[in-house]
Amino acid sequence: MLRALIFDVDGTLAETEDLHRQAFNGAFADLGLPWSWSPARYADLLTVMGGKERLRHYVETEHAGEAKALGPLMGEIHDRKTRRYGDLVEGGSLALRPGVGRLIAEARAAGLKLAVASTTSRPNVDTLLRINFPEGDVPFDVIACGDEAARKKPAPDVFDLALRRLGVAPSEAVAFEDSAAGIRSALDAGLPVIATRSRYTESHRLDGAFSAVSDLGEPGAPHRHLSGHAWPGGIVTLDALRDWHARITA
């Protein structure tokens, strides 16, 4: 029986990544650092999972001579980035990607459990949910974030953590991801994966996902099928998910 849906956040729940890029650039400017990440540069940096890890990688590879001196500043840069990201989300009312809110509502109405499994920090998740759901209404039963896991994606740790907190087996859940590293993470946790390609993962191979689509689709606005399982009408619905799950577990 399908009992739970587990969602990545950045690029999966919402197209957040460019706001993260802008927030990093704002933090650099705040601290007088002459750095600016273009969209193309940030796309390259996204191969490193986790904002703190991404920043550390950038400093160690692009500013190796200054890495030791910059070390004490890393925490302040990331803290400023997190605050700036929150301000950008609040000010811009960043919407959920197509079909996400609909599928979450269908799952809640049917009594399925819902979880987040993300490398992003908890404040970023909380801000995104606060602007997209009514006050006091948290749709997710479990929120597992990168700082709580020993290893970032593509390791399976954060999905393992979400499954433990949900109290479900991997065979009873489906994961939603947008990146190659995220798909690997979910697969290694034993989860089947639906991939929804996002702005910053256009170049990623989505190998391993049992279905890859442009988004989850909405009535009157079907998604574009990319590979694997095709959904009736170009919409990933709970009924269609249950039908697929029943067939593969029969």
Catalytic positions are 8, 10
- The amino acid occupying position 31 is L
Q: Residue 7's beta-bridge partner residues?
A: 116, 176
What phi and psi values does residue 169 have, to the nearest 5 degrees?
-85, 155
Residue 230 structure tokens: 């095709």
